[in-house]
Structure 1
C-alpha cells in the first residue's frame, strides 16, 4: 500500500518526462521516424531546503522499501477552481485522450496542466494536458495528453485535477544530516513505476 507524504509546497520542484518512444533512423539517410509507445512516465524532484528536525520525522516514509510513496504535484499560480467530481468515463480507454465525466460544466483544463488518475482507488497515474479544453454542459470532457495512456483505467476512477499526485518509488533521498541549528536538508525524487 502506498505511503502518502505530507502536503507541503516545496522550495523547488522540477520534473522530466521519461519517454518510451522508439526512434527509427534509416540506414541510408532520410527522415527519422518517432514511434509513440505506451509507457512514458514522469519523474519529479522535490527540494524542501532545510526543515526542522522534528518536521523531518514526518517525512520518514521516504525510507520505505518495496512500497511506493505519493506526493502532491504543485502548480504555483494555477487556480484550479472547482472542477467538480471528475471521473474516468468508461473503462479500457487507450490512446492519447482521457475521457472524463462529472466535470463542472464550462470548467477549463489549461495546456500543460497536470492531472492524475487514481485507478480503481489503487494506484496513481500522472498525465499532462497537451491542449486547453473546456467541459461540455453535460460534464464530459476529452483531455488530449502529451503521452499515451499507460493503463486501461477502470471506469469511474477518480481524476485529481485540483491536487494531482505522483506515485512511485522514492529515489535519491538526501542524507539526513542534522545541522547545529537542528535543521535537516530534505530533497528526493519520485519516478512513476511505469
Structure 2
C-alpha cells in the first residue's frame, strides 16, 4: 500500500510535469502534421524540500521516501490557484470514459477553474487530472468537468473525487546525493513522483 509522504515541512520548490505518451506524425513529403494521442498520459512532480528542523523529522522523511520506492507514495499536489468551496465529490455514474468527468455531491454553485487539479480514488489508487475549463456546480450539486489527461480506467460510481487536496500517487525517485538524514537536515531532500498508471 502506498505511503503518505509527510506534510511538514512544506516543499521549498516544486516542478510539475505532464507526460504525453502520444506524438506528432510528420509527413516526409510536406503534408499536414497530425497529433496521435495515446491512452496513458499522466503527471509527475519534482520536489525540493526545505531543510528539516530535527533528526527525527529528517529520519521520518527518509523512511517514507524509501518506502515510496517500493510500495508507492502519495503526495499532496500543490494547487497554484485558490479553490472555491470545501469538501470532496464523488464520481456520478460508472462507465465514463474520455475527457469529461461527471461528479456529484459538491456544494450548489461551487466554482471550478481551468488549471485546477482533482484526483480520483479508484481501486485503491489515485488518478490526477487537471481541469481544462471553468464551470459551476448545479443546484443538484453536479457538474461535468472537462479534464486532461483522459480517464485511464473506468471509475466506479461513487469513487471519491479529491477536490480540496488532490494528491499524486506513484513511485519515488531520489537524487544522486541519496536520502540521508544529513542531506535532509543540511541541503533539503529532492525527489520525483511519477504517476504509476
Provide the TM-score with structure 2 as the length reference: 0.89
The runs of 4+ residues in structure 1 deviating greater than 4 Å are 177-180
Provide the TM-score with structure 1 as the length reference: 0.90
CA contact (8 A) 1:56 1:184 kept: no
CA contact (8 A) 2:173 2:193 kept: yes
1:71 corresponds, among 68, 71, 75, to 75
Matched position secondary structure for 1:62? helix
Matched position secondary structure for 1:145? strand
Aligned counterparts of 1:23 and 1:161: Cα–Cα separation in 2: 33
1:149 corresponds, among 148, 151, 165, to 151
Within 5 Å, which residues of 2 pair with 1:34-183? Answer: 34-52=35-53, 53-59=55-61, 60-64=63-67, 65-76=69-80, 78-120=81-123, 122-173=124-175, 175-177=178-180, 179=182, 183=186
Post-superposition offset of 1:92: 2.0
1:12-42 deviations in Å (ceiling 9; x for gaps): 1111111022322223211110022211000
- In structure 2, list runs of 5 or more residues that go unmatched: none
1:111-133 deviations in Å (ceiling 9; x for gaps): 1011100114x000000001111
Matched position secondary structure for 2:189? strand
Matched position secondary structure for 1:13? strand
Aligned counterparts of 1:188 and 1:115: Cα–Cα separation in 2: 22
Is residue 2:192 matched to residue 1:189? yes
Aligned counterparts of 1:147 and 1:179: Cα–Cα separation in 2: 38
Post-superposition offset of 1:54: 1.9
Match of 1:29 in 2: 30
RMSD: 2.0
Aligned counterparts of 1:148 and 1:124: Cα–Cα separation in 2: 14
Relative to its length, the structure with more helix (as a share) is 2
Aligned counterparts of 1:158 and 1:178: Cα–Cα separation in 2: 36
Aligned counterparts of 1:4 and 1:100: Cα–Cα separation in 2: 25
Match of 1:7 in 2: 7
Post-superposition offset of 1:175: 1.7
Aligned counterparts of 1:179 and 1:25: Cα–Cα separation in 2: 49
Count of residues in Structure 1 that have an aligned counterpart in Structure 2: 192
Aligned counterparts of 1:4 and 1:178: Cα–Cα separation in 2: 19
- In structure 1, list runs of 5 or more residues that go unmatched: none
